C-alpha cells in the first residue's frame, strides 16, 4: 500500500479524537486508583450512565446538550458517591481483588438493568446545533463536533491534573492517601475527601459519556466495549499516574488510528499487543512508580 | 422348526408394529433457540426470537392436540466455540429436536455441521451467509428468512441501475461480511458496475471514522456497508457526521433491520434503501402478527425479519410434525417432509423450499421515509419494488450445493 500523506494525517487526527475518550476515561481510573486504591471496573458502566443521563435530560426534561455537559456528570457523580458510601467504603482496606470484583459485579448489574429496558441497538442523540456541520481542512473533512471533543477533553484533563498536582486541595488529597491517620489529625475530613474523589472520577467518566453520545449510539454496552481498552491504557501508562494516563490515552488513540490505516484487521488488538510488550519490559507502566 | 421360524417372524412383526405405534404416539418436541441474547445482535434476534418461537408453539394448535412442546434458550455470544458447545449439549444431553435462529454466520456454519452429524433439524433464520444453501448445504438444514445473495442481488442491482456504478466496501471481518461482499461484488459487476476498494473493520467496532475516511477518499459513488446490527448503525451515523452523503456519495446498507432504523431515527436514516423479506406493515397478516409480538416484547420493538422468520419456520415445522402424526426425532426425514410440502403462513405468504434447503419467498426493496412522511412510531419504510420469490434467491442451476448433484 502506498502511503498517502493526506490520508495519513486524517487518520492521525481521527486517532486523536478517540484518544480523547481514552484519556478522559483512564484519567478517572487513575484518580480513583491513586487516591482510593480501587480498581474501578464499574467505570464503563458509569460512562454509559453519563450518556443515558444526557439522553434522559433531553427527552424527558427537554434539557439540551450544554446543560447536560454539567448536569449529567453531577448526577452520575452523585450516584458514584452513594455507591462509595454504601459499598466501596467497607472494602477500602482489603485486597485490590475485592474492589475489582465488587465494581465488576456492579457494572454487570447496571448494564443488565439498562439492557433490559433499552435493548442493545441503543438510542439516538443528535449533535447540538451549534456544533453541526464540519470544515474542510484540505486533507480531510473534520466534523466540528469532533474537533470540539478533542479540545474540550484536553482542557478537562489538564484541569484535573492541575487540581490534583498543583493546588492545596490536591496536596491534601495526596497526603491523605499517603497517611490518612496523620492527615485526619490535622482536622481534615478524610472520608469526605475520598468520597468526593470517587465522585470526581465517576463524574469524569460520565462526562466522557455525554461527549460520546452524539458520536456513538447511546447503548447499554457502550462502556463494556470500551472499558477493556481503557484498562490497557491505564496499565501501559502506569496505574495511578495522572499525567501518564493522559499522555498514554492520546498516544494510544493515535497508534490505533494508524493501525486502522495500515492493517485494519488488527485495530481491535493493537492496544493489547502494546500492553503485553510494556508489561514485559517495564511492568510498572511507562510512567508508573515501581510498587 | 418351521413353526419356530414363523413364531419368531410373528414376534418380530409384532415388535415392529409396536415400535411404530410408539413412534406415532410420541407427541413431544423440543426447540432450541440459539442466538445472541445480549450483544450487538440481541435486538435483531435475541429475546425477540424466543417470543416468536413461543408464539409459533401457541399458534400451531398442537398443544390442543395433546402435544408437549418445550422451548429452550441458548446464548452463543457470537462465538463459534460457545455456539458449538451449546448445540452439542442440546443434542447429547437435553435431546433437543430442532435448533432455530442462530445469527452470526460464523456460528451458523459451525452449528450447521453439528446438526447434520446429530441428525437434528436446523431452521436458520439469523445467519446471512448464502453458503448455507450452496457449498456448505446440509440435508438437515433449511435456510429460512434471508441470505447474502438475496440482499446483494436486491440492493446491489438496484443501486447500479440508478447510476451507482463504482463501489467501496466497508466489510465486517468475518464469514457473513465477506460472503456479503462477495455476493454484492458479483451482483454489481454483473450489471456493469466496478469495485474500487474495500476495508475490513473487525466485528463490533465502535468508531468507524478511519474506515469512513478511506471510503470517502476512494471517491466511489456507493459505499456498501457489508455489516450488520450495531456496526451498521454506527457506520451510518458516523457517515452522516463526516458529511459523506452530503458530499454526493451514497450509502448502501446491505443488511438493515427495522430495529437498526429505529435506533438511528428517521432524521439520520431517511433515504437509505435496502432489501428485506419482511416488514410489519405489509398486509393484514404481518400487521396482526407484529402487533401481538410487540405487545409481548419488553422494549416494545416490532419484529425483525429474523424474528418473523423464526416464527414462520416453526409454523411449517409444526405443520409437518402434525401431518406425520408424531415426532420420529429423525431430522433428515422431517426436513425432507418439510421440503416436500409447500409453505403458507402469515409472514411470507405462500412459498416453497428448494432441494438445497433454501426457502423461497418474495423480497422487497424499501426506502426509509423522511421524518415528515412517517405517520407514527415504527412507520419507517416505503415499498419501492417487489422481487418475486423465483428471482430473489440463488437460481438452482447456479447453486453450488453438493446435494443437488446426487439427484
Q: Is B20 on the interface with A (CB under 8 A)?
A: no
Residue A231 lies in a domain: no
**Separation of alpha carbons B159 and B240, rounded Å:** 19
Indicate the SS3 state at residue B32: strand
Instruction: Judge whether B28-146+282-357 and B149-276+363-390 match in fold.
Output: yes
pLDDT at B22: 47
The full set of domain ranges for chain B reads: 28-146+282-357, 149-276+363-390
Judged against a pLDDT cut of 90, whether residue A237 lies above it is answered with no
Helix axes A190-212, A43-61, angle to 10 degrees: 60
pLDDT at A291: 44
**Residue segments in chain B with a per-residue pLDDT below the cut of 70:** 1-25, 406-407
**Separation of alpha carbons A156 and A70, rounded Å:** 12
pLDDT at A77: 96
- Looking at domain B149-276+363-390, its CATH class is alpha beta
pLDDT at A52: 96
Question: What's the grid cell of residue B55?
Answer: 408464539
Shortest distance, CA A26 to any CA of chain B (angstroms): 18
Using CB atoms, which residue from B205, B210, B237 is nearest to A14?
A: B210
CA max distance for chain B? 94
Number of domains in chain A: 1
Best to test chain A binding among B40, B174, B208, B213 (most A CBs inside 10 Å): B213
A176 vs A4, more confident: A176
> pLDDT tens, A89-147?
888 888 888 999 999 999 999 998 998 888 777 888 888 988 888 888 877 788 899 99
Question: What's the grid cell of residue B309?
Answer: 422468520
**Separation of alpha carbons B133 and B140, rounded Å:** 11
Using CB atoms, which residue from B39, B237, B265 is nearest to A120?
A: B39
Question: What's the grid cell of residue B307?
Answer: 424474528
What are the strands, taking DSSP E only, across chain A? 134-136, 141-143
Residue A11 lies in a domain: no
> pLDDT tens, A57-77?
999 999 999 999 999 999 999
Residue A276 lies in a domain: no
Nearest-by-CA chain A residue for B215: A7
**Separation of alpha carbons B253 and B233, rounded Å:** 9
How many residue pairs bridge chain A and chain B with CB atoms within 8 Å of each other? 116
Average confidence (pLDDT) over A151-163? 94
Of B308, B252, B301, the residue nearest B278 (C-alpha) = B308
> Under an 8 A CB cutoff, do A17 and B265 touch?
no
Q: Which residues from chain A sit within 8 angstroms of residue B43, using beta carbons?
A: 119-121
Nearest-by-CA chain B residue for A141: B242
Paired with B252 in beta bridges are B224
Residue A262 lies in a domain: no
CATH topology of domain B28-146+282-357: Rossmann fold (3.40.50)
Residue A218 lies in a domain: yes
> pLDDT tens, B210-239?
899 999 989 999 999 999 888 999 999 999
Best to test chain A binding among B210, B242, B270 (most A CBs inside 10 Å): B210
ipTM over 0.90 threshold: no
pLDDT at B215: 93
> Under an 8 A CB cutoff, do B234 and A217 touch?
yes
Residues B14/B15/B17/B23 CA torsion (nearest 10 deg): 160
Q: How confident is the model at residue A1 (pLDDT cuts 50, 70, 90)?
A: very low
Residue A22 lies in a domain: no
Residue A64 lies in a domain: yes
**Separation of alpha carbons B236 and B240, rounded Å:** 6
Residue A1 lies in a domain: no
Of B123, B44, B106, the residue nearest B358 (C-alpha) = B123
Contact, B326 vs B27, CB < 8 A? yes
Q: For residue A117, give its domain range.
A: 28-222
> Under an 8 A CB cutoff, do B263 and A122 touch?
yes
**Separation of alpha carbons A100 and A88, rounded Å:** 10
> pLDDT tens, A130-139?
888 888 887 7
Q: How many CB atoms lie within 10 A of CB B33?
A: 27
**Separation of alpha carbons B203 and B271, rounded Å:** 25
Average pLDDT, chain A: 89
Q: Which residues from chain A sit within 8 angstroms of residue B214, using beta carbons?
A: 7, 261
Contact, A222 vs A215, CB < 8 A? no
pLDDT at B8: 58
Amino acid at each position: 500500500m502506498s502511503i498517502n500523506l493526506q490520508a495519513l494525517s486524517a487518520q492521525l487526527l481521527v486517532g486523536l479524537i478517540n484518544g480523547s475518550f481514552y484519556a478522559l476515561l483512564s484519567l478517572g481510573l487513575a484518580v480513583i486508583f491513586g487516591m482510593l486504591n480501587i480498581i474501578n471496573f464499574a467505570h464503563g458502566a458509569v460512562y454509559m450512565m453519563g450518556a443515558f443521563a444526557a439522553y434522559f435530560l433531553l427527552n424527558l426534561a427537554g434539557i439540551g446538550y450544554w446543560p447536560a455537559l454539567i448536569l449529567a456528570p453531577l448526577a452520575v457523580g452523585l450516584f458514584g458517591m452513594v455507591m462509595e458510601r454504601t459499598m466501596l467504603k467497607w472494602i477500602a482496606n482489603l485486597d485490590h481483588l475485592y474492589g475489582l470484583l465488587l465494581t465488576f459485579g456492579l457494572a454487570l448489574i447496571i448494564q443488565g438493568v439498562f439492557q433490559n429496558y433499552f435493548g442493545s441497538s441503543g438510542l439516538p442523540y443528535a449533535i447540538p446545533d451549534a456544533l453541526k456541520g464540519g470544515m474542510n481542512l484540505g486533507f480531510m473533512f473534520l466534523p466540528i463536533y469532533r474537533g470540539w471533543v478533542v479540545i474540550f477533553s484536553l482542557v478537562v484533563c489538564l484541569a484535573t491534573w492541575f487540581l490534583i498536582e498543583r493546588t492545596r486541595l490536591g496536596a491534601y488529597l495526596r497526603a491523605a492517601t499517603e497517611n490518612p491517620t496523620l492527615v485526619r489529625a490535622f482536622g481534615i475530613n478524610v472520608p469526605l475527601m475520598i468520597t468526593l474523589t470517587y465522585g470526581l472520577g465517576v463524574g469524569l467518566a460520565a462526562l466522557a459519556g455525554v461527549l460520546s453520545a452524539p458520536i456513538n449510539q447511546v447503548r447499554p454496552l457502550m462502556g463494556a466495549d470500551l472499558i477493556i481498552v481503557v484498562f490497557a491504557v491505564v496499565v501501559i501508562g502506569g496505574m495511578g499516574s495522572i499525567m501518564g494516563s493522559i499522555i498514554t490515552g492520546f498516544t494510544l488513540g493515535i497508534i490505533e488510528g494508524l493501525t486502522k490505516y495500515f492493517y485494519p484487521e488488527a485495530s481491535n488488538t493493537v492496544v493489547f499487543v502494546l500492553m503485553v510488550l510494556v508489561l514485559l519490559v517495564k511492568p510498572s507502566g511507562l510512567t508508573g512508580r515501581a510498587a | 422348526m418351521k413353526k419356530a421360524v414363523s413364531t419368531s417372524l410373528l414376534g418380530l412383526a409384532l415388535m415392529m408394529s409396536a415400535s411404530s405405534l410408539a413412534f406415532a404416539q410420541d407427541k413431544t418436541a423440543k426447540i432450541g433457540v440459539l442466538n445472541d441474547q445480549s450483544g450487538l445482535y440481541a435486538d435483531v434476534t435475541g429475546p425477540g426470537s424466543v417470543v416468536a418461537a413461543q408464539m409459533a408453539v401457541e399458534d400451531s394448535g398442537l398443544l390442543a392436540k395433546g402435544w408437549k412442546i418445550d422451548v429452550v434458550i441458548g446464548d452463543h455470544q457470537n462465538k463459534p466455540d460457545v455456539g458449538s458447545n451449546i448445540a452439542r449439549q442440546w443434542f447429547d444431553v437435553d435431546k433437543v429436536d430442532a435448533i432455530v435462529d442462530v445469527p452470526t454466520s460464523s456460528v451458523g456454519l459451525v452449528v450447521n455441521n453439528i446438526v447434520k452429524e446429530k441428525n437434528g433439524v436446523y431452521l436458520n433464520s439469523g445467519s446471512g451467509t448464502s453458503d448455507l444453501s450452496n457449498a456448505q448445504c446440509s440435508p438437515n438444514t433449511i435456510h429460512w428468512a434471508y441470505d447474502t445473495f438475496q440482499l446483494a442481488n436486491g440492493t446491489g442491482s438496484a443501486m447500479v441501475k440508478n447510476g451507482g456504478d463504482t463501489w467501496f466496501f466497508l466489510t465486517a471481518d468475518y464469514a457473513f461480511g465477506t460472503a456479503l461482499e462477495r455476493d454484492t461484488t458479483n451482483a454489481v459487476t454483473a450489471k456493469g458496475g466496478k469495485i474500487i476498494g474495500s476495508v475490513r473493520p473487525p466485528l463490533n467496532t465502535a468508531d468507524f471514522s478511519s474506515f469512513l475516511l478511506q471510503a470517502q477518499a476512494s471517491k466511489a459513488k456507493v459505499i456498501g456497508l457489508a455489516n450488520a446490527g450495531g456496526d451498521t448503525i454506527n457506520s451510518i451515523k458516523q457517515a452522516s457526521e463526516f458529511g459523506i452523503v452530503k458530499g454526493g456519495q451514497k450509502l448502501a446498507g446491505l443488511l438493515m433491520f427495522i430495529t437498526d432504523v429505529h435506533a438511528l431515527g428517521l432524521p439520520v436514516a431517511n433515504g437509505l434503501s435496502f432489501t428485506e423479506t419482511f416488514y410489519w406493515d405489509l398486509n393484514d397478516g404481518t400487521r396482526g402478527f407484529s402487533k401481538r409480538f410487540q405487545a409481548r416484547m419488553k422494549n416494545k420493538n416490532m419484529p425483525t425479519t429474523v424474528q418473523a422468520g423464526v416464527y414462520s419456520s416453526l409454523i411449517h415445522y409444526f405443520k409437518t410434525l402434525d401431518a406425520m402424526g408424531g415426532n420420529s426425532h429423525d431430522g433428515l426425514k422431517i426436513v425432507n417432509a418439510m421440503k416436500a410440502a409447500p409453505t403458507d403462513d402469515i409472514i411470507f405468504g405462500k412459498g416453497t423450499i428448494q432441494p438445497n434447503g433454501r426457502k423461497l419467498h418474495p423480497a422487497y426493496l424499501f426506502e426509509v421515509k423522511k421524518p415528515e412522511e412517517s405517520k407514527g412510531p415504527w412507520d419507517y419504510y416505503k415499498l419501492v419494488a417487489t422481487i418475486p420469490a423465483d428471482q430473489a434467491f440463488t437460481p438452482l442451476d447456479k447453486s453450488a450445493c453438493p446435494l443437488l448433484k446426487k439427484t
